Amino acid sequence: MDEDNEYRNYYDEDERNAARNAIEDVRNAKRRRVVQTTPWGGTRVITQPAPVPVIVQAPPPPPAPQKSFLGEIPLGTLVQLGAMGYTAMAELPPKPAIVGEPKTDNQNLVLYQEALAKHAKRVQQINTAGLVASVLLAGKRL
């Protein structure tokens, strides 16, 4: 008998045989049919037991990152904002008084410009230190 053709009995559809048909369906569900090709070009059908399902448990979720006292803002960002705020509030050097003598006023202006340059350099140093601290607290590489 050809295994690809299914033999059906007219009495299989009878509802009185439903229990027997259900048992056969469960038995057939546990088996699977594999078609193999033979070296000479033919095929054969092999009935094998169905593979046992493998249950893989998912790994636990990673721990939540630590939150700062201001909620969602990371500590590194707070450090950087603090450095920027400090430099924004830093006082500028006092402006020179105008004496009225061109030579003295010119010397005072040069001294004032040097003081402004030192102030700008100090502000940049503090902002850079805040940025480096922020990156290090975040655990990133520079």
Give the tens place of pLDDT for each residue, 8-48. 555 555 566 666 666 666 666 555 566 666 676 677 666 66
Per-position DSSP letters for 63-131, written without gaps between them: PPPP-BTTBSS-HHHHHHHHHHHHHHHPPPPPPPPP-S-HHHHHHHHHHHHHHHHHHHHHHHHHHHHHH
| Percentage of the chain exceeding pLDDT 90 | 35
- Computed on alpha carbons and rounded to an integer, the radius of gyration of the chain in Å comes to 42
Q: Which residue did the predictor score with more confidence, 138 or 124?
A: 124
pLDDT of residue 131: 92
Considering the entire predicted model, what is its pTM? 0.48
pLDDT of residue 142: 60
pLDDT of residue 118: 96
Domains of the chain, by residue range, sit at: 10-49, 75-138
